[in-house]
Amino acid sequence: MKLSQMTTDQAADTLMQIAQPVSNIMHDKTMMGALEKLAKSNTENPLKYIADNLGTVTVALLKTRRADVYDIISALSGKTVQEIAAQNFMVTLADVKDCVDGDLVNFFVSSK
């Protein structure tokens, strides 16, 4: 579920669950280098460019920060980590696309 669709209590609980995994990703130099490179590819709207290339970003994340990604998807989708690990990869990509919105990205970018 998108952050913008949650109640205040749901959003607070979700943000507490994903704060550490997001921090882990944001402090991963390899991952942040890849994201910065993607963002610089389209200086007009880097967040939209990243969102449009979410599949590429997701693959890179799964290589370097898989456990963190699963924790984030789990918190946002309501699925368990085990369900995410066992499901079809295209379903996982769809889950990521369904959960990511500008409010969520802005929350973590603005608090960086």
Q: What is the pLDDT of residues 30-71, one digit of tens each?
A: 777 776 776 676 656 666 766 677 677 767 777 889 999 899
Give the C-alpha separation, 69 to 79, whole Å: 13
Reading the block at residue 112, the tokens are 């960086």
Q: Average pLDDT, stretch 92-96?
A: 86
Could you give the CA distance from residue 36 to residue 46 in angstroms, rounded to a whole number? 9
